[in-house]
C-alpha cells in the first residue's frame, strides 16, 4: 500500500471538520485576567510629550465620572511616539462594572469644544478584530425612512393670514385660528389629557410643547404630530432661546441615573449631570447640550426667578447669574467664555440687548452683542 502524499491529505481533510474549541478556550481573553476592567479611548487631543502629564490629569478627571480609576500609569496610559501623544489611550477601572459604565455613559461625549471621545471595552478588540468574528461581506443596514412632519410653520400659508393660539381649559388643550370677529376655529381636534401642567409655544410658533411627569414633548406640523421627547422627570418650567435652537427646563428633582438597563438606554444624561436640575436642550436633535446645578441660594427659594438662562438675540451666547458674578457661555459648545466668570459685586439682574447694536467703528453688520446689568447704589 502506498502512503498518501501531503497533497492527498490536504484534499481529504476539511478545515470545517476540525474542532478548535480546545484551542479557542485556551487562548480566549479571560475576564479573570482583568481585561474586563480596561477601556480604549479614541479621539483624545494630540499633544507634545511635555504636556502629557497635564493631559493625563484632564482625561483622568473626565473618565472618573463613570467610576474609580487605578492609580498611576496603570490607570491611564497615553502612548507617545515622536514626542507626541497618539490621540488614544488605555484606562483601567477598579471593577468591570465601572468600565461598563464608562462605555455606556461617556462614549461619544465631548471632552472640549474640539474633541469628542469614543470609549470601548478592551475586550471588544478581540471580539471585533479577530479574523472571522465580523462578516467579510458588507450587508447594508435597513434604515427606517425619515418621518416627515410637514411644514412646521404651516400657519403662515393660511389664506386669511390668521395667527394660531393654544387654549387650555380644564384638562383639554386645543389649537385655534384667531378670528377677528367670529369664534376661534379649531386647527385640529382639541385633545384631552394633552399635558399635565401647561402647553406653550416656542417664540416663533414652530413647536408646541406639553409637560408630563417624565419630561417634555414637542409637537409640530399642520396636524401637530409628536416630534421629540425630552426626558427630564418632574419638570416644572420651560423656556426657549430667541431663534428656537435651544430649550431650557427646570425640575425640583435632581437628575438621577436609572437602575434598570432598559431605562438607561433611554436616559440622555451622563454621570457629570448627576444631581443637576437645570438642562439646556438642542431642539433639533432632542439631546441635552449642557446641564447645571442650581446655585445654593436658589435651592430653598419658594419663588424661583425665571428664566435662569438668558440669551443673546442670535442664540450665540447665553448667560446665568450667580452671587456677585455672571457666567457667559458660547454656543454650541456651552463652554465658559474666556474660561472665567464676569465678576459684578452686588448684581441684581441683567439683560441682553434684543438685537445687535451697531457701535461706532464696528465692522459687524449684524451689530454687537450687548449685555447690561444693574446693581443697587451703594455708598463709597
**Per-residue pLDDT tens over the stretch 4-35:** 444 554 455 455 556 666 665 555 555 445 68
Mapped onto helix, strand or coil, the DSSP state of residue 366 is coil
Q: Which run of H or of E encompasses 102?
A: helix 96-106
Domain-embedded: residue 212 = yes
Residue for grid cell 479614541: 42
Q: 80, 97, 129 — which closes off a domain?
A: 129
Q: Tell which residue, 168, 232, 233, 165, has the closest CA to residue 201.
A: 165
Which CATH number covers residue 112? 3.30.70.330
Q: How many domains does the chain have?
A: 3
Which pLDDT belongs to residue 15?
A: 53
Asked whether residue 175 falls in the same domain as residue 235, the answer is: yes
How far apart are alpha carbons 201 and 176 in whole angstroms? 13
Which CATH number covers residue 155? 2.130.10.10
Asked whether residue 238 falls in the same domain as residue 349, the answer is: no
Which pLDDT belongs to residue 111?
A: 87
How far apart are alpha carbons 29 and 129 in whole angstroms? 13
Range of the domain at 316: 312-380
Q: Tell which residue, 169, 304, 193, 170, has the closest CA to residue 248.
A: 304
Asked whether residue 99 falls in the same domain as residue 236, the answer is: no
- How far, rounded to the nearest angstrom, does the alpha carbon of residue 326 sit from its chain's CA centroid? 24
* Inter-residue contact 128 to 134 (CB < 8 Å): yes
Domain-embedded: residue 8 = no
Cα angle 215, 218, 222; round to 5 = 160
Asked whether residue 195 falls in the same domain as residue 97, the answer is: no
Asked whether residue 116 falls in the same domain as residue 242, the answer is: no
Q: Tell which residue, 152, 186, 181, has the closest CA to residue 169.
A: 186
Which pLDDT belongs to residue 33?
A: 54
Asked whether residue 277 falls in the same domain as residue 204, the answer is: yes
Domain-embedded: residue 22 = no
Which pLDDT belongs to residue 63?
A: 93
Q: Tell which residue, 77, 62, 57, 41, has the closest CA to residue 111.
A: 62
**C-beta atoms surrounding 66 within 10 Å:** 26
What Rg value do the Cα atoms of the chain yield, rounded?
28
Asked whether residue 302 falls in the same domain as residue 318, the answer is: no
How far apart are alpha carbons 337 and 350 in whole angstroms? 17
Which pLDDT belongs to residue 9?
A: 44
How far apart are alpha carbons 216 and 209 in whole angstroms? 7
| C-beta contacts of 154-162 below 8 A and 24+ residues apart | 154/221, 154/222, 155/187, 155/205
Asked whether residue 119 falls in the same domain as residue 171, the answer is: no
- Phi, psi angle pair for 22, to nearest 5°: -70, -40
Which pLDDT belongs to residue 25?
A: 58
Asked whether residue 75 falls in the same domain as residue 109, the answer is: yes
Find the farthest-apart pair of alpha carbons in the chain and give their distance in angstroms, rounded: 118
How far apart are alpha carbons 103 and 270 in whole angstroms? 11
Splitting the chain (380 residues) into consecutive groups of 10 residues, what average pLDDT does each group show?
Answer: 49 57 57 75 94 93 90 88 94 90 86 89 78 79 84 91 93 92 89 96 96 96 94 96 98 88 80 91 94 88 92 97 94 90 95 92 83 85
pTM above 0.75, yes or no: no
How far apart are alpha carbons 212 and 193 in whole angstroms? 10
Nine-digit cell at 368? Answer: 454687537
**C-beta atoms surrounding 105 within 10 Å:** 21
How far apart are alpha carbons 315 and 332 in whole angstroms? 9
Report how far apart, in Å, the C-alpha atoms of 328 and of each of 229, 273, 278, 312, 315 are.
28, 19, 16, 10, 12
Asked whether residue 240 falls in the same domain as residue 154, the answer is: yes
Amino acid at each position: 500500500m502506498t502512503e498518501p502524499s501531503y497533497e492527498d491529505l490536504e484534499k481529504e481533510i476539511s478545515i470545517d471538520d476540525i474542532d478548535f474549541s480546545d484551542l479557542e478556550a485556551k487562548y480566549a481573553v479571560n475576564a479573570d485576567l482583568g481585561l474586563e476592567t480596561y477601556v480604549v479611548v479614541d479621539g483624545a487631543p494630540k499633544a507634545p510629550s511635555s504636556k502629557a502629564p497635564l493631559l493625563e490629569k484632564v482625561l483622568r478627571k473626565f473618565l472618573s465620572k463613570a467610576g474609580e480609576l487605578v492609580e498611576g500609569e496603570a490607570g491611564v496610559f497615553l502612548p507617545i511616539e515622536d514626542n507626541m501623544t497618539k490621540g488614544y489611550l488605555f484606562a483601567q477601572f477598579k471593577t468591570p462594572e465601572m468600565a461598563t459604565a464608562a462605555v455606556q455613559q461617556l462614549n461619544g461625549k465631548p471632552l472640549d469644544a474640539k474633541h469628542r471621545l469614543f470609549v470601548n471595552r478592551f475586550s471588544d478588540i478581540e471580539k471585533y478584530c479577530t479574523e472571522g468574528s465580523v462578516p467579510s461581506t458588507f450587508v447594508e443596514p435597513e434604515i427606517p425612512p425619515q418621518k416627515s412632519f410637514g411644514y412646521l410653520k404651516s400657519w403662515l400659508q393660511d389664506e386669511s393670514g390668521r395667527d394660531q393660539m393654544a387654549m387650555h381649559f380644564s384638562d383639554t388643550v386645543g389649537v385655534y385660528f384667531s378670528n377677528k370677529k367670529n369664534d376661534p376655529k379649531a386647527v385640529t381636534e382639541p385633545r384631552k389629557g394633552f399635558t399635565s401642567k401647561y402647553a406653550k409655544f416656542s417664540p416663533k410658533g414652530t413647536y408646541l410643547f406639553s409637560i408630563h411627569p417624565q419630561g417634555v414633548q414637542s409637537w409640530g406640523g399642520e396636524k401637530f404630530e409628536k416630534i421629540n421627547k425630552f426626558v427630564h422627570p418632574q419638570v416644572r418650567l420651560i423656556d426657549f432661546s430667541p431663534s428656537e435652537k435651544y430649550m431650557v427646563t427646570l425640575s425640583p428633582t435632581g437628575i438621577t441615573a436609572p437602575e434598570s438597563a432598559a431605562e438607561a438606554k433611554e436616559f440622555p444624561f451622563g454621570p457629570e449631570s448627576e444631581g443637576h436640575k437645570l438642562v439646556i436642550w438642542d431642539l433639533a436633535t432632542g439631546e441635552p447640550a449642557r446641564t447645571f446645578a442650581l446655585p445654593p441660594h436658589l435651592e430653598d427659594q419658594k419663588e424661583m426667578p425665571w428664566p435662569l438662562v438668558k440669551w443673546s438675540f442670535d442664540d450665540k451666547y447665553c448667560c446665568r447669574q450667580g452671587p456677585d458674578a455672571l457666567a457667559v457661555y458660547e454656543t454650541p459648545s456651552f463652554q465658559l467664555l474666556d474660561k472665567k466668570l464676569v465678576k459684578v459685586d452686588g448684581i441684581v439682574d441683567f439683560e441682553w440687548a434684543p438685537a445687535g447694536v451697531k457701535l461706532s467703528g464696528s465692522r459687524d453688520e449684524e451689530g454687537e452683542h450687548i449685555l447690561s446689568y444693574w446693581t443697587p447704589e451703594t455708598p463709597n
